[in-house]
Structure 1
Amino acid sequence: MDVVVTANKNSVISEIDQRIFGSFIEHMGRAIYSGIYEPEHPSANIAGFRSDVIDLVKELAVPVVRYPGGNFVSAYQWEDGIGPQAQRPVRLDLAWHSSESNQVGIHEFADWAQTVGCGMMLAVNLGSRGLTDARNFLEYVNHPKGSYWSDLRRENGQEQPWGVKTWCLGNEMDGPWQIGQKTADEYGRIAAETAKAMRAFDKSLELVVCGSSSPDMPTFPSWEKTVLEHTYDVVDYISLHMYFKNHEGHTGNYLAQSLKMERYIDTVASTINYVKAQKHADKQIYISFDEWNVWYHSTEQDKQILNGEQGWPHAPAILEDIYNVEDALLVACLINSFIRKSDIVKIACLAQLVNVIAPIMTEKNGAAWRQTIFYPFMLASRYGRGKALKLDINSPCYAAECAGEVPYVDISAVYNEQDKTINLFIVNRHGSEAISLRSTFNQFQNLQVCQHQTLNSADLQSSNTSQFPERITLVQGEALFITDQELTVCLAPLSYHFIQLKE
């Protein structure tokens, strides 16, 4: 089976915002406690953060992390996480039916973010709270000195403001599971007024308004239309969330879900443009796809905790999906979609970063290791910075229930002008056949192959564990050569490939 791809140097989709390789940490499960923070761990630094996890996060090169939620934020009192740790209250978290010690708050998270080298994307509570608390939180985080909240921050040990620019106005406010769920009109009004107040403090802030928490919501996409009608003039992004599952065990349908996500993006983009035209606006709203991942492996085992059958445990092991090779292939396809949609998607956050549906897993007082999905995310984050190229692709297709006709080869390409590199991210979705991929590169000069790394396995259900942390890892691909600006590579069935070329 042959697939032909043509890339032209001057055919560009968009400059990629590096924040499409962002992630997310919520106060839930073991994401924070025994995830990033475990003072008793042998590797813990002086602040109590696990150095082994810090090293893995640095390897991912995550540019921004969204915090502190997620569903958690909709009943969160941010003031609980400031001041002396010994004096902080323990609260019952209604979102995940657990107790929250508040040993990690904004100060600790900001120190961790600085250590790993990522920016912060903060969320305010528009569920149980509102405008005043959002304004106070912003003042605490960003005002230099001379006001009540900024001076309290300084008393608590942080002399300089953190200067956080990107803020989420609540979380999934359309969801019946959300503390303080609102109708589109109710939410649109409070979001607009909160945005106005935050912009009165700092006009340069980037504000993210809640879109639908899934394309399967009964209010989608009318929710987006109504919310944007209220907020278009005062926000910069609208959020999308989507999680992916394979309960039916059908690999072809599973790997086609990236196209379902692209339709979700396209529908929201059309809604943005409709409201923009309706308002005769020049301003463009973009998409923040700030929750996405595979999530279905752990749902049954989580039910007892989430239903309250085990009381209010602190940092229980929930949503700890163990990812396999099949999941890594879908994650690679989803990242390709973000690259191809980088003209409208400017922020995306893999949910989450550690232990909770995450690329990094830990044992309490034990090891940390990379899950299978770590590898395609890491390669895209490190090498997907630059210009997304618009490719001409001629690939045979197969039929999938959720997406119609699906190309067997899923591919994205990023040109980094500074490094003079072309970075190709490729998935062969075919379950049994190898594919010969022939790529031609126009307007490029003297290309040579720098890297070829692959990920695949005869056992799609194979995964990594603390005992076998490198059962699935990247391996060196076949040696490749370019002749007359043309590259040919053989893609094994159900395989992932990263190829780097250099001018």
Structure 2
Amino acid sequence: MASINVDFSVGQGAISSRLYGAGLEHVGASVYGGFWTGPARPGDESRSAPPVHIGWREDVLTLARALRPGILRWPGGPFSQSYRWRDGVGPRGDRPLRFDHYWAKPEPNHVGTDEFLDLCRWIDAEPAITVNTRSARPEEAAAWVEYCNGSMLTSAGALRLANGQPNPWNARLWSVGSNNWDMGAPEAARRHNLFARAMRGVDPGIELTAIGGNPSNQSEWDKVVIGQTAEQFRHLGVWAFDGVASVEGDNPEDLFHAHVASAERILWTISNAAYRLDEMMLNGGAYVGVDGWGIWKQSRQGLQHDYDMSDALIAATVLHGLHRLAPRVGYAAWGNLVNALGLIQATERACWATPVYHIMKMFRDLHGTEATRCTVAGPAVAAPGGNSPVRSSRPPYKGMALIDASASRDVARGRYTLSVVNRSFSDRHDVEIDVKGLPTGIGATSHLLRAESPFAANSAKEPRAIEPFVFPIGQIPREYPFPAHSVTVLIWEETPGLT
């Protein structure tokens, strides 16, 4: 039998809301079509088109506002390295049409800096902006910082005023380049330093992210970048995507376990970056910034859509790991907010929340601001290796724990939280739970996310097939049942209903 021991009186590091972020890259229908449709046009009502708010679809906007992503990273990864920010400011009718060669699509520039920052304000997300270090110059990036954060008496600030925004946006998070591994670590570090000096010359208070390695080059890349740019960044960026689409023999249980073991490989990449920072920056002051993470296991226009319950288990397990790494990880962004690699899926006339969206929302809403002591003991399974059409074969993982958990507290709100993932394909697990450090006499409420099949997903026809089920349980029993392939969040509140 598995057991979980929690001590809410022992804090183990602050949990930042920045861990619950997402990307907003101009890829597929993640921005145009899926989220941004432009201002309402005559005749939209007759086409049953979703209403819009200043160009953003209201149905998607409603889900995004409910989610409240901790950060929203824009204009993306590869796309950002050909993006010129001046193309996306001023009257939309005057903005140039460009062609995005990386994703092979036209870029109308209708969503630019002001539209993005206005969206962040609407959905309560902190903006994180990526500058182009591949084809732009440091002076251009510095002017972008000035446009966002400078006084209207500055040159770029005056341009912002002319575009209808007198007050600075005060964007604090800036990534210096993205995905530029082909240029080599020494050149990436050289460019980082040039851009960082120019950008900080405009606003010394911004937080900069340097390009970190990926799973294939991480060790050597990070040594070079940290060694040459240590005084010029706050975060070391990491990308960690995984996923298994098939296994030998096509056994559903083998496929399930091979796929959910992706969480361990994602966390391995993030932990490696934290280890390298600790090893090389003995004075501290720098953190891992997860620029993109998630599941990318099959193609539809090259990117994963239609996340299912097994993906939700991976997301919850990775978030548990980020809680344990909380003192070392500054932020994290799931691949995308909408459509391609997206938490929200949208067709022309419908949208729905994926199971991964529900995990993000549950953790954002229910977990506290400080991780607390939580240990787990229990059975493990040997997860087989598997394959994916978008990456190399995934290796086996011999000791994947079936029960994973994380605990946190928010003393100011009187809330204590324990989340538990059951990664078993078909078995319920009755788990012994020992909880210390709770105020006396308060009962618990359960928020349960589960599905009949671990491969079940929401869809346009069944948008709410999988969503959290909430019920009071009072004093939890010594042995608590966790359904197969499920995520349970137990909360204790001194003032029930306080949010």
Structure 2: distance between partners of 1:447 and 1:81: 56
Q: Which of 426, 435, 439 is the matching residue for 1:432?
A: 426
What does residue 479 of structure 2 align with? 488
TM-score (norm 1): 0.89
Give secondary structure in 1 for the equivalent of 2:90: coil
Q: Write the mapping of 1:288-437 to structure 2, written as runs, cut at 5 A.
A: 288-297=289-298, 299=299, 301-302=300-301, 319=303, 321-364=305-348, 366-400=349-383, 401-437=395-431
For 2:53 and 2:379, the matched residues in 1 are separated by 55
Distance 1:44 1:68 in 2: 24
Note the C-alpha offset of 1:255: 1.5
Provide the TM-score with structure 2 as the length reference.
0.90
**More deviation, 78-87/434-443:** 434-443
Cα distance in 2, alignment partners of residues 347 and 379 from structure 1: 18
5+ residue gaps, structure 2:
248-254, 384-394, 495-499
**Matching of residue 81 in structure 1 with residue 79 in structure 2:** no
2:241 maps to a residue whose letter is Y
What CA deviation, in whole Å up to 9, does each residue of 1:260-318 have, x standing for no partner? Answer: 222222221221122214xxxx2421011120111123x2x425xxxxxxxxxxxxxxx
Cα distance in 2 for partners of 1:460, 1:94 equals 37
| Counterpart Cα distance in 2 of 1:488 and 1:418 | 29
Match of 1:165 among 172, 181, 184: 172
**What is the CA deviation profile of residues 171-222 of structure 1, one whole-angstrom value per residue up to 9, with x for unaligned ones?**
1111xxxxxx41100010110121122222222111111101x31x2x2211
Going from structure 1 to structure 2, the CA distance change for 1:286 and 1:402 (only over 3 Å counts) comes to farther
Amino acid at match of 1:240: V
Aligned partners of 1:252 and 1:46: how far apart in 2?
42
State the match for 1:153 in structure 2.
Answer: 160
Aligned partner of residue 480 in structure 1, secondary structure: strand
1:144 and 2:143 equivalent? no
Assess if the C-alpha contact under 8 Å between 2:141 and 2:195 holds in 1: yes
1:9-24 equivalences in 2 (<5 Å) = 9-24=8-23
Match of 1:313 in 2: none
Partner of 1:112: 119
CA contact (8 A) 1:11 1:390 kept: yes
Correspondence for 2:489: 498
Report the CA distance between 1:448 and its aligned residue.
3.1
Distance 2:111 2:375 in 1: 48
* Distance in 2, Cα, partners of 1:46 & 1:330: 33
- Cα distance, 1:320 vs structure 2: 5.3
Partners of 2:356 and 2:147 in 1: how far apart? 36
| Aligned position for 2:235 | 237
CA offset at residue 487 of structure 1? 4.6
Distance 2:180 2:94 in 1: 32
Query: Conserved in 2, the CA contact under 8 Å of 1:480 and 1:489?
Result: no
SS in 1 for 2:140: helix
SS at match of 1:338: helix
CA distance in 2 between counterparts of 1:157 and 1:6 reads 55
- Secondary structure in structure 1 of the residue aligned to 2:412: coil
Residues 321-359 of structure 1 show CA distances to partners (whole Å, capped at 9, x for unaligned) of 111111111111111111121111120011100111112
Q: Secondary structure at the match of 1:232?
A: helix
Residues 113-164 of structure 1: CA distance to partner in whole angstroms, max 9, x if unpaired? Answer: 1112222111100111231111111111111122221111111111111110
Which AA in structure 2 matches 1:324?
D
Native 8 Å contact 1:422 1:501 kept in 2: yes
Compute the displacement of 1:170 (Å): 0.7
Q: Secondary structure at the match of 2:431?
A: strand
Correspondence for 2:24: 25
Taking the aligned partners of 2:128 and 2:441, their CA distance within structure 1 comes to: 38
Stretch deviating more after TM superposition (162-171 or 59-68):
59-68
Q: Could you report, residue by residue, the CA deviation over 1:228-283 in whole angstroms, capped at 9, with x for unpaired residues? A: 11111121000111112112252112222222222222221221122214xxxx24
Deviation at 1:3, TM superposition (A): 1.4
The residue aligned with 1:187 is: 188
Counterpart of 2:138, as a letter, is L
- Classify 1:16/1:402 alpha carbon distance in 2 versus 1 (closer, same or farther; 3 Å): farther
In the alignment, the residues of structure 1 paired with residue 26 and residue 225 of structure 2 have an alpha-carbon distance, to the nearest angstrom, of 27
Where 1:288 maps in the other structure, the secondary structure is strand
Whether contact under 8 Å (2:146, 2:203) holds in the other structure is: no
- In structure 2, the residue corresponding to 1:193 is in which secondary structure? helix
Structure 2 residue identity aligned to 1:102:
N
CA–CA separation in structure 2 for the residues paired with 1:206 and 1:283: 15
Is the 2:425–2:454 contact (alpha carbons within 8 Å) kept by the matching residues of 1?
no
**Local SS of the residue matching 1:141:** helix
Assess if the C-alpha contact under 8 Å between 2:145 and 2:203 holds in 1. Answer: no
CA distance, structure 2, for counterparts of residue 9 and residue 426 of structure 1: 15
Q: Report the Cα distance in structure 2 between the residues aligned to 1:259 and 1:447, rounded to whole angstroms.
A: 37
Question: How far apart are the structure 2 equivalents of 1:88 and 1:320?
Answer: 31
Alignment correspondent of 1:97: 104
Given that 2:405 and 2:418 are in contact with CA atoms closer than 8 Å, whether structure 1 keeps it comes out as yes
Aligned length: 468
1:42-96 per-residue CA deviation (whole Å, 9 max, x = no partner) reads 4434511111111101111212201111110101111110111111111010110
CA distance in 1, matches of 2:229, 2:202: 17
Shift of 1:402: 4.2
Matches of 1:487 and 1:79, distance apart in 2: 61
Label 1:433 to 1:46 Cα distance change in 2 as closer, same or farther (>3 A): closer
Match of 2:390 in 1: none
